[in-house]
Amino acid sequence: MENAEIRVALSDVSEGGKVKVVGFSNVGAGFTRRLQEMGVLPGETVNIVRNASYGPVEIRVKGSNLLIGRGIARKVIVEVIDE
Amino acid sequence: MNRFFTIALAGNANVGKSVIFNQLTGGNQITGNWPGKTVEKAEGFIEQEGIKIRIVDLPGIYSLSTYSEEEIIAREFIAKEKPDLVIDVIDASNLERNLFFLLQLVELEVPVVVALNQYDIVEEQGIEIDDKKLSAFLGLPVVKTIATRNKGLTELFETVKDALLKEEKLTGHILYGKEVEDRIRKMVREIQHEINSIYPARFIAIKLLEKDPAMVSEISSPEILSLAETLSKELEEIHGESVESVIISERYAVASRIAEGVSIRKKEGRVNISDRLDRIFLHRVWGNVILAFLVLFVFFFVFRFGEFFSEKIGELSKIIEPYFVRLPLPPYLRDIIFKGGIEGAISGIAIVLPYIAPFYFILSILEDSGFLARIAFLTDNLMHKLGVHGKAFIPLFESFGCNVPAIMGTRVMERDRDRFIASVLATLVPCSARTVVILGLVAVFLGPLYALLIYAIDFSIIYLVGVLLNKYMKGTPSGLIMEMPRLRKPVLRIILRQTWIRLKEFFTFAMPIIICANIVMELLILTNSIEPLSGFLNPLARFMGLPPLATVALIFGVFRKELTLIMLATFLGTTNFALMLSPQQIFIFGLVSVIYIPCVATIAALVRELGRFKAFLITIGEVVGAFILGGLVNLILTLF
Ligand SMILES: Nc1nc2c(ncn2[C@@H]2O[C@H](COP(=O)(O)OP(=O)(O)OP(=O)(O)O)[C@@H](O)[C@H]2O)c(=O)[nH]1
Ligand SMILES: [Mg+2]
């Protein structure tokens, strides 16, 4: 819990981690909107299911799994709740 | 009473719309376990007790705001063509996200009947959903369904029929939180006075508050626009988020409240097998190892299966021939009917069917289990180098079956650049017809290793073309946002049906072309026109080191790729191709067949999807490229 204040990119969180979405940096309006429509909303808790150093990041949000390309995942800002 | 209605099947991607459509109408929509299969609306008809219903199957859609092209098709249909009723198909195991879309249908005030589908999955998870309560929350009829087992569909249809015949309007009612709701009301009051639109006032109000660009440009009243701006700003200040986030959160808040209110946990559900399997299938090392084995297995299985049955069916024409020769017909007519028509049909079936049938069967298993989406995950990195992200892999993989739906399938890509690259690559993927050439000719006469070599060359070309296009075309590939479907046990009935839908295409579409081409060829032979034609093609043939007749066969291949082989068989009167072609020639013939533009149907699809100019470029590029490659290989093989 001591990391609660640290903000990182979604792509940097390791597998099995749990984070809270904070916001988006320059993903482009279309992607920001789509991410939010898929449930990746500010304040939402998200589990990182799979994250290798390359390829898409798989997360679990709103009860289903979502693949997010690495390029986009780099621009989703999150707060780590649980490593 | 005699009435005609239009209803639409809408909802998130991969929830079961097309399965329901196929069950209700006996239609032939492609189904499978990954999002984004249906990319074009399809319609079917049901006639019952004097009412006629047109059912339209729409592409999956997550929101009424525009994103990718297939979603726009769905949105436009619902919003502009105003179907009499929409069946919103909901994945019951993913209530929140599915309700998020339903809430938008409610905003649009279209009449909705809800199909609570995939109910078997929820039950497996040990959860029960109170459909009566859900119905009460929404103000809409709700029917539980399990589309794959044909459960609940009769009831669904009855409910729809009732709703259509009853005059009362079936529009739901949902209230958002007070802060948002108050502002919607303020907007609605103004809009009702000022604006006459095809959209309901509440829908316009919400869209304007959200700053939806399409709606903003449609509204001309400056007072209303400025009111919307003020109210949006207030919302942003209260919540400290963009107004877009505020409204989306608001919908999700309502969606999760409803979802929680109607779900009852009955018992401990089974562990999620999909997640466990994924730990192996998506493992950095094991995932790729499994994939490699799978590919090899498919290759050898289809090859051995095809080889065996191809020979068996091929013997058929020898059995019929003596009977036919005895028929009292003039010899030229007998040649046309027997050699052209009947033998053409038999060799079409003998050469093609034994390879494509097992291939389609396996493809359907990969599709329906959700394994295809895993392959997309594993190859995402590679695909990025080729200029397309993981989602494009699925159309590319579908291309192994047939290039045409694959090219249409590139609509799931959001940008023109990505679509162009994916389409070019799709035309280079060896489709089932080309698989027939590779296996039936190269593998049978030169051995499976040479067939693998042809695949290797083809894949290298795809890689090269992809990397080059990616490097030299403006822009960078766009990102991936895709729902990962759960792995599940494929349903045999659905798989057989899927295989059959594809095979039927072969009988109804390909066979007539094959038979006609054979008859034309027989006519050319009878009228001695082959000589001048092959003479004309002679330089090309010499360049590639092929007999002139083989080049004629290559030309026929533009209609259907299998025709290259079938024409050869017609020339030879046997499928023992080694009689006419040396091993080197077999290899070159196979290679060129595989590389040059697939067929007229593909060219037509390219024209439809990308426009004439790009289609022309691709066609010419690939034909010339293939011939040059054939020449080069010939040169190299002759030199060494
Ligand atoms: N277990 C289960 N699987 C289902 C059910 N209904 C559909 N499926 C499966 O869900 C997958 C998706 O079905 P489709 O009908 O292709 O989905 P769709 O909504 O048309 O998807 P898109 O065209 O991509 O938007 C297929 O693999 C179906 O076999 C169901 O009630 N139970
Ligand atoms: Mg569909």
Residue B624 phi/psi, 5° resolution? Answer: -60, -45
Q: pLDDT tens for residues B415-466?
A: 788 889 999 999 999 999 999 999 999 999 999 999 999 999 999 999 999 9
Does a structural domain hold residue B557?
yes
Centroid of ligand 1 to alpha carbon of B19 (angstroms): 6
Does a structural domain hold residue A34?
yes
Contact residues for B546 (Cβ-Cβ < 8 A; gap 6+): B554, B581, B585, B588, B589, B630
Residue B569 and residue B594 share a domain? yes
Q: Which domain holds residue A71?
A: 7-80
The C-alpha atoms of residue B193 and residue B184 are separated, in whole angstroms, by 15
As to burial, measured by CB atoms within 10 angstroms (0-12 exposed, 13-18 middle, 19+ buried), residue B612 is exposed
- Assess whether pLDDT exceeds 80 at residue B638: yes
Residue B253: HSE in the Cβ half-sphere, 13 Å Cα cutoff = 13
Does a structural domain hold residue B173?
no
Nearest residue of chain A to residue B63 (CA atoms): A37
pLDDT band at B84 (very low <50, low <70, confident <90, very high): very high
Q: Which domain holds residue B518?
A: 510-640
Does a structural domain hold residue A70?
yes
- What is the position in ligand 1's atom list of the atom closest to the CA of B121? 1
Please give the single-letter amino acid code of residue B97: R
Residue B466 and residue B529 share a domain? no
pLDDT for res B370: 92
Q: What is the arithmetic mean of pLDDT over B561-565?
A: 89
Residue B530 and residue B463 share a domain? no
pLDDT band at B174 (very low <50, low <70, confident <90, very high): confident
Closest by CA to B269, choosing from B145, B131, B122, B149, is: B122
- CATH code: domain of residue B104: 3.40.50.300
- CATH code: domain of residue A67: 2.30.30.90
Does a structural domain hold residue A45?
yes
Per the CB < 8 A criterion, the answer to whether B600 and B559 are in contact is: yes
Residue B482 and residue B517 share a domain? no
Report the gap between the CA of A33 and the closest CA in chain B (Å). 8
Residue B151 and residue B15 share a domain? yes
Does a structural domain hold residue B189?
no
Q: Give the end of a domain, one of B491, B509, B527.
A: B509
Ligand nearest to the CA of B10: 1
Residue B301 and residue B160 share a domain? no
Residue B518 and residue B498 share a domain? no
Does a structural domain hold residue A2?
no
Does a structural domain hold residue B182?
no
Q: Give the end of a domain, one of B165, B185, B212.
A: B165
Does a structural domain hold residue A49?
yes
Does a structural domain hold residue B172?
no
Secondary structure (3-state) at B157: helix
- Assess whether pLDDT exceeds 70 at residue B477: no
- Assess whether pLDDT exceeds 70 at residue B470: yes
Classify the C-alpha dihedral B220-B221-B226-B232 as positive or negative.
negative
Residue B625 and residue B640 share a domain? yes
> Which residues does chain A have within 8 Å of residue B67's beta carbon, measured at their own beta carbons?
30, 33-34
Residue B544 and residue B481 share a domain? no
Residue B575 and residue B599 share a domain? yes
pLDDT band at A1 (very low <50, low <70, confident <90, very high): very low
Does a structural domain hold residue B592?
yes
Residue B610 and residue B551 share a domain? yes
Ligand nearest to the CA of B115: 1
Residue B447: HSE in the Cβ half-sphere, 13 Å Cα cutoff = 4
Residue B542 and residue B460 share a domain? no
Does a structural domain hold residue A16?
yes
How many domains is chain B partitioned into structurally?
Answer: 3
Contact residues for B260 (Cβ-Cβ < 8 A; gap 6+): none
